[in-house]
């Protein structure tokens, strides 16, 4: 059975239609890359799937592991195992990473019928996940994302993903603006989390990330829908030729 | 000054009012001041948003209510007095009718004294449970003296459920001696009543004074804090946190008077307003011409949880010295929706996310409270009030 099935999804923000009949099926164990020019709807897709209420869904349906995703509050989606790594992680002064993660992990465990971890076990679990993304120990005690560099923020997103152990991870331009070291660390983190029952959707502008996280499928999003799908070779072709040839093909057709 | 005249002014304000036969000197001065002034109405700049006068218009009856209880703490003398010399000597600077009214009408002063050099670690807790009925007025007076090189932590906790048209007026005078330390915490939670509190502070050189005021419940709470930095190298912190719901009105007026060089003042007042509540903050930092090398910081931040809540914030910086570092800022806005969504996207429900953000917002003020017990009690009370605000 598929993990995520998106059928004919349409969404708008501030009266502007962005997604216009988007379809995608993701099976456990798969990595899908979604590429596309600016304004094609990539981030809207990520926000809609995570439940951001600034976006209005105007049509279509989304099935997540047998449940109606669009019917769920953002926190229910998270507890069911959907994780969005934000393009722009939010700074939260006064809330430490540790307390934030403790609250989040407790909620997710409760949903799965598990007791909260005692302090000692929680800290051990956190240490293990921190190492996965080579996150500096000091960052964990600081306020969430406050004063973090761009690379630290993105690593913190992958760290949170590791902590919450989702079924589906959506990475919204996690690679944008990262230097090669940070990119390698982020990609390694994701690769270590990969398993046969988890899936990832990697939204990106650049082919570079896909050298590190090798996708099973590559989709091109343009004007709110997928206009072409292929394997990782499609990404290389896009890198070489840009998006214009696809736009031209579409206008000719 | 004629006896008849002052009596008639006081009796206009508070029926049954007659000064006790003690503290004659300061009382006659206060009564003289009252004779030339009136209880300020909303026309007065300092009372623009806060109408206490309406309580007097309906008539108030003076009642005796010296019901402050306290724990026994080694190294601290606590006693009621009718002749303590220092009483009145800081309040004299308060050119304010409510302070004068307090001075003319309190019966006896609760004196708290820490002798030279005594280091008191245990917290002194003053419990004032207010039981006033409709139409009743009472004035209480506290004097805190921390002598040179001594240190004290004190909490004054106002509670009870006074009736809606009563008024308690408390005035606390504070003397912080050379190289002495005082942390003075206020908690105000009085149900539906009205509370008018004034703290007049004098700090001598090398001293350290911190005051934190947490306001949780009351129809009308007006808190004045006036700090005079009289000696060099004083460090002072004044913080406040207030949570308002329904039709509550909480008003904080502060003044830090930098009279001499090399002092530092830090001020953070923060609040959360819901329902149809009204908040007022007026913070004045006054740097006199001689007060070079002053460091003065002030901020007031407010979060409005409803469209019908109002915050009136007025930071004021008056600087007459030319070599100082001072800053102030005031913000009033809604809760950061992006932050709420971010937390929800990690599995916290809407209330959990909101509570986490608002508790963090309060944290900058609460962390100045050294007693872990008090901090943890306050955190629980804040959670409870947040739940009520959601309802």
Residues of chain B contacting A99 with CB distance shorter than 8 Å: 356
User: What's the pLDDT at A78?
Assistant: 98
Min Cα separation B366/chain A (Å) = 12
Q: What is the DSSP string of A70-92?
A: GGS-HHHHHHHTEEEE-SSPPPE
A66's tokens: 């047998």
Residue showing tokens 């592991």: A65
Contacts of B223 (CB under 8 A, 6+ apart): B186, B188, B197, B198, B199, B213, B215, B240, B250, B251, B252, B253
List the pLDDT tens digit at each of the 253 positions of chain A.
899 999 999 999 998 999 999 999 999 999 999 999 888 999 999 999 999 999 999 999 999 999 999 999 999 999 999 999 999 999 999 999 999 999 999 999 999 999 999 999 999 999 999 988 888 777 778 999 999 999 899 999 999 999 999 999 999 999 888 888 889 988 998 999 999 999 999 999 888 889 999 999 999 999 999 999 999 899 888 888 888 888 888 777 6
The answer to the question of residue B90 being in a domain is: yes
The answer to the question of residue B262 being in a domain is: yes
Residue A10, strand partner residues:
A20, A59
Secondary structure E strands in B76-166: 76-81, 109-114, 124-130, 136-146, 151-160
Say how far apart CA A245 and CA A249 lie, in whole Å.
6
A107 touches chain B (CB under 8 A): yes
Min Cα separation B363/chain A (Å) = 7
The answer to the question of residue B272 being in a domain is: yes
Residue B51 has pLDDT above 50, yes or no: yes
Residues of chain A contacting B339 with CB distance shorter than 8 Å: 90, 92
User: What's the pLDDT at A207?
Assistant: 86
Q: What digits encode the pLDDT tens for the residues B256-295? A: 999 999 999 999 999 999 999 999 999 999 999 999 999 9
Min Cα separation B270/chain A (Å) = 14
What's the pTM?
0.89
Q: How do strand A199-204 and strand A16-26 relate by DSSP bridges? A: unpaired
User: What's the pLDDT at A253?
Assistant: 63
Of chain B, the percentage scoring pLDDT greater than 90 comes to: 78
Residues of chain A contacting B383 with CB distance shorter than 8 Å: none
The answer to the question of residue B224 being in a domain is: yes
Q: What digits encode the pLDDT tens for the residues B103-154? A: 999 999 999 999 999 999 999 999 999 999 999 999 999 999 999 999 999 9
Domain count across chain B: 1
Which of B51-65, B257-271, B306-320 is predicted with the least confidence, judged by mean pLDDT?
Answer: B51-65
B315's tokens: 């930071």
User: What's the pLDDT at B9?
Assistant: 67
Confidence category of residue B66, pLDDT binned at 50, 70, 90 = confident
The answer to the question of residue B350 being in a domain is: no
Domains assigned to chain A: 4-252 (3.40.50.300)
A49 touches chain B (CB under 8 A): no
Domain of residue B279 covers: 3-336
The answer to the question of residue B345 being in a domain is: no
Would residue B129 be called left, alpha or beta, if left means φ above 0 and alpha means ψ between -120 and 50 degrees?
beta
The answer to the question of residue B174 being in a domain is: yes
User: What's the pLDDT at B1?
Assistant: 36
Q: Is A92 in contact with B364 (Cβ distance < 8 A)?
A: no
Q: Tell me the three state secondary structure of residue B371.
A: coil
Residue B5 has pLDDT above 70, yes or no: no
ipTM for the complex shown: 0.95
User: What's the pLDDT at B3?
Assistant: 41
Say how far apart CA B151 and CA B76 lie, in whole Å.
10
Q: How do strand B249-258 and strand A92-96 relate by DSSP bridges? A: unpaired
């Amino acid at each position: 059975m598929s993990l995520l099935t998106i059928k004919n999804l349409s969404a708008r923000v501030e009266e502007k239609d962005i997604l216009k009949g988007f379809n995608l099926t993701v099976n456990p164990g798969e990595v899908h890359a979604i590429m596309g020019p600016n304004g094609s709807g990539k981030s809207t897709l990520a926000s809609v799937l995570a439940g951001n209420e600034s976006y209005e869904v105007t049509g279509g349906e989304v099935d997540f592991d047998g449940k109606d995703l669009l019917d769920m509050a953002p926190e229910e989606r998270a507890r069911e195992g959907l994780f969005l790594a934000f393009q722009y992680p939010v700074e939260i002064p006064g809330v430490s990473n540790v307390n934030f993660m403790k609250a989040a992990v407790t909620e997710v465990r409760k949903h799965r019928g598990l007791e909260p971890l005692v302090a000692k076990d929680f800290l051990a679990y956190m240490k293990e996940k921190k190492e996965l993304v080579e996150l500096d120990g000091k960052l964990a005690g600081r306020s969430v994302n406050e004063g973090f560099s761009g690379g630290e923020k993105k690593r913190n997103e992958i760290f949170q993903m590791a902590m919450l152990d989702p079924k589906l991870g959506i990475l919204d331009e996690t690679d944008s603006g990262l230097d090669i070291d940070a990119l390698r660390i982020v990609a390694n983190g994701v690769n270590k989390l990969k398993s046969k029952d988890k899936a990832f959707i990697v939204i990106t502008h650049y082919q570079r990330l896909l050298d590190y996280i090798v996708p099973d499928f590559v989709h091109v999003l343009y004007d709110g829908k997928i206009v072409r799908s292929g394997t990782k070779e499609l990404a290389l072709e896009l890198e070489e030729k840009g998006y214009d040839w696809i736009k031209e093909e579409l206008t000719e057709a | 000054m004629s006896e008849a005249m002052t009596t008639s002014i006081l009796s206009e304000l508070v029926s049954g009012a007659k000064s006790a036969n003690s503290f004659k000197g300061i009382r006659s001065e206060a009564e003289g001041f009252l004779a030339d002034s009136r209880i300020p109405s909303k026309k007065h700049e300092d009372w623009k948003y806060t109408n206490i006068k309406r309580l007097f218009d309906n008539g108030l009856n003076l009642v005796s209510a010296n019901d402050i209880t306290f724990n026994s703490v080694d190294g601290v003398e606590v006693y009621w007095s009718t002749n303590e010399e220092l009483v009145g000597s800081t309040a004299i600077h308060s050119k304010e009718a409510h302070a004068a009214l307090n001075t003319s009408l309190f019966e006896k002063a609760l004196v708290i004294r820490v002798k030279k050099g005594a280091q008191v670690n245990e917290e002194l807790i003053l419990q004032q449970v207010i039981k006033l009925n409709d139409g009743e007025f009472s004035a209480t007076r506290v004097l805190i003296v921390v002598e040179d090189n001594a240190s004290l932590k004190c909490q004054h906790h106002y509670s009870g459920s006074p009736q809606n048209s009563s008024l308690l007026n408390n005035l606390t005078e504070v003397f912080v001696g050379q190289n002495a330390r005082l942390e003075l915490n206020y908690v105000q939670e009085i149900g539906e009543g009205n509370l008018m509190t004034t703290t007049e502070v004098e700090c001598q050189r090398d001293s350290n004074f911190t005051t934190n005021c947490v306001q949780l419940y009351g129809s009308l709470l007006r808190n004045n804090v006036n700090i005079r930095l009289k000696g060099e190298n004083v460090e002072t912190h004044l913080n406040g946190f207030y949570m308002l719901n329904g039709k509550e009105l909480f008003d904080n007026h502060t003044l830090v008077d930098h009279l001499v060089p090399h002092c530092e003042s830090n001020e953070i007042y923060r609040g959360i307003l819901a329902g149809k509540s009204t908040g007022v903050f007026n913070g004045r930092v006054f740097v006199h011409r001689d007060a070079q090398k002053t460091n003065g910081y002030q901020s007031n931040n407010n979060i409005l949880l409803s469209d019908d809540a109002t915050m009136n914030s007025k930071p004021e910086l008056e600087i007459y010295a030319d070599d100082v570092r001072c800053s102030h800022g005031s913000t009033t806005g809604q809760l950061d929706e992006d932050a709420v969504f971010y937390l929800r996207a990690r599995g916290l429900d809407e209330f959990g996310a909101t509570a986490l953000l608002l508790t963090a917002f309060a944290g900058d003020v609460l962390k100045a409270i050294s007693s872990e017990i008090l901090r943890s009690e306050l955190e629980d009370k804040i959670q409870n009030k947040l739940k009520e605000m959601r309802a």
